[in-house]
Amino acid sequence: MNPREFARRRRQLMRMIGRGGVALLAAAPERVRNRDVTFPYRQDSDFLYLTDFPEPEAIAVLIPGRDHGEFILFCRDRDPERERWDGERVGTDGAVRDYGADDAFPITDVDDILPGLLEQCERVYHTMGTHPEFDARVIGWVNALRQRAGAHAPHEFVALDPMLHDMRLYKSRAECSAMRRAARIGVAAHRRAMQATQPGMYEYEIEAEFLHEFRRHDAVPSYQPIVAGGHNACVLHYTRNNARLQEGDLLLIDAGCECEGYASDITRTFPVSGEFDARQRDLYDVVLEAHRAAIAKVGPGHHWNEPHEAAVRAVTRGLKRLGLIDGNVQRLVRDEAYRPFFMHRTGHWLGLDVHDVGDYRVGDQWRLQEPGMAMTVEPGIYIAADSGAPKAWRGLGVRIEDDVLVTRDGHQVLSAALPVDAEDIEALMARAGR
Ligand code: GLY
Ligand code: MN
Ligand code: MN
């Protein structure tokens, strides 16, 4: 992404903070996986959004002022010895040259330099709770100033996230194009999985198709893929992915990838054999109807909950048609009779975080959808093996999930290139010559 995009975001945030404020943000720490091995590093989403800076052990300081304000970065120094082992570091010169910092200092000097910067400010904007060790340091710096005779200390802590997360909710052109790319690669991986699936394979073999497709496009999974054959589909966050796929089963796959930090999050459910049986097809079509009804409620002017309300009505009507619940539809909706079978919401914001930031309500009202907001639409029906449903239905789970962008005149389904009609899925699987 163009460095100007990050500079624009910093300027916008500093305008909101105003003179006398200072924003402090920390890079995500590295996490140990085992002994001296770390998990693959992922930058903190807020930090990434404002800096594009890829390394741990960094602190960003934004000080609004005349012109466009100041962006100061504390980061790791260059270190030839360490770089021989772990690869090149950006260093302070690189932070100024490549990341738009007005000034940069070694992170080891932060305790000496940062209090002097805070002394000029009245309000400290900071997000509590994401990185507790950083929270303690911020409080420590301010308290030390308050106790130092003759020093001026900021008198107020202000939550940074309401402003910053509201900004993140509206995706720019560059963000939309990263999300389109994440969706495109996600779609290609799902197509590949549909074509590769054969009875007798293991769930992890299908997971491998996703990893291959993601990595060959320089993307990484945006969350642990859910590859759930048969009744495993009824475990919403199933990630063991180690069961054998049976001829007559459905396979639910919820997998997406991340490009430049932006996630896709896509689910399809299809028959291992390549053909839905009558009962699977009936259930699938109910979920598809709910999915379509929900997507129709994505667009400017609709409120956040309208897609969910539409999905709930369609799922309830469908469950009644299938004989899984009985009664007056309006009353069934009111009494949430669908909940044993549809226990999650129909979507969430999507962006740098899979479950992206941004409020769903404003005061006591659902938020209105506006152009640039991105969300998933993902109704599902799960009939657990131990549910009271008639035996023939037990163990079936279906979810259909697409990524949808609110546009000026409606919406765009970013993952629309992936077959969703039962016939289209069967045709794609048949074409694979399975
Ligand atoms: N993959 C997580 C979700 O669909 O929300
Ligand atoms: Mn998902
Ligand atoms: Mn989702």
Please list every protein residue whose CB sits less than 6 Å from any atom of ligand 1. 223, 254, 265, 348, 354, 378, 401
Q: Is 152 a catalytic residue?
A: no
Distance 165 CA to ligand 3 centre (A): 19
Q: Is 382 a catalytic residue?
A: yes
Q: Are 210 and 189 in contact (CB under 8 A)?
A: yes
Query: 137 and 150 in one domain?
Result: yes
Domain containing residue 328:
170-430
The number of distinct structural domains making up the chain is 2
Query: 137 and 8 in one domain?
Result: yes
Say what angle helices 306-321 and 278-295 make with each other, to 10 degrees.
160
Q: Which of 209, 249, 356, 401 is catalytic?
A: 401
* Nearest ligand to the CA atom of 347: 3
Q: Which of 55, 207, 254, 402 is catalytic?
A: 254
Distance 376 CA to ligand 1 centre (A): 8
Query: 150 and 39 in one domain?
Result: yes
pLDDT at residue 62 in the model = 98
Q: Indicate the residue among 144, 168, 192 that finishes a domain.
A: 168
Query: 318 and 406 in one domain?
Result: yes
Distance 267 CA to ligand 3 centre (A): 8
CATH assignment of the domain containing 129:
3.40.350.10
Distance 75 CA to ligand 2 centre (A): 35
Distance 76 CA to ligand 2 centre (A): 36
Nearest CA to ligand 1 atom 2: 265
Query: 401 and 336 in one domain?
Result: yes
Q: Indicate the residue among 116, 140, 168 that finishes a domain.
A: 168
Query: 231 and 160 in one domain?
Result: no
Mapped onto helix, strand or coil, the DSSP state of residue 266 is strand
Residue type for 255, please?
A: A
pLDDT at residue 432 in the model = 84
* Reported pTM: 0.97
Query: 146 and 182 in one domain?
Result: no
Listing DSSP states for 46-86 in one string gives HHHHHH----SS-EEEEE--STT-EEEEEEPPP-HHHHHHH
Q: Hey, which of 342, 401, 404, 415 would you mutate to test ligand 1's pocket, going by the most ligand atoms within 8 Å of its Cβ? A: 401
CATH assignment of the domain containing 351:
3.90.230.10
* Nearest ligand to the CA atom of 223: 1
Q: Is 338 a catalytic residue?
A: no
Q: Hey, which of 348, 350, 415 would you mutate to test ligand 1's pocket, going by the most ligand atoms within 8 Å of its Cβ? A: 348
Query: 79 and 176 in one domain?
Result: no
Q: Which of 84, 237, 364, 409 is catalytic?
A: 237
pLDDT at residue 72 in the model = 98
Nearest CA to ligand 1 atom 4: 265
Eight-state DSSP code of residue 358: S
Query: 137 and 12 in one domain?
Result: yes
Q: Hey, which of 254, 258, 377, 403 would you mutate to test ligand 1's pocket, going by the most ligand atoms within 8 Å of its Cβ? A: 254
Query: 396 and 276 in one domain?
Result: yes
Q: Indicate the residue among 141, 168, 195 that finishes a domain.
A: 168
Average pLDDT per block of 10 residues along the chain, 434 residues long: 96 97 98 96 98 98 90 98 97 98 98 95 96 95 92 94 98 98 98 98 98 98 98 97 98 98 98 98 98 98 98 98 97 98 98 98 97 98 94 97 98 98 97 79
Query: 157 and 297 in one domain?
Result: no
The contacts of residue 241 (CB under 8 Å, 6+ apart) are: 203, 204, 206, 207, 225, 226, 227, 228
Distance 265 CA to ligand 1 centre (A): 6
Query: 218 and 206 in one domain?
Result: yes
Nearest CA to ligand 1 atom 5: 355
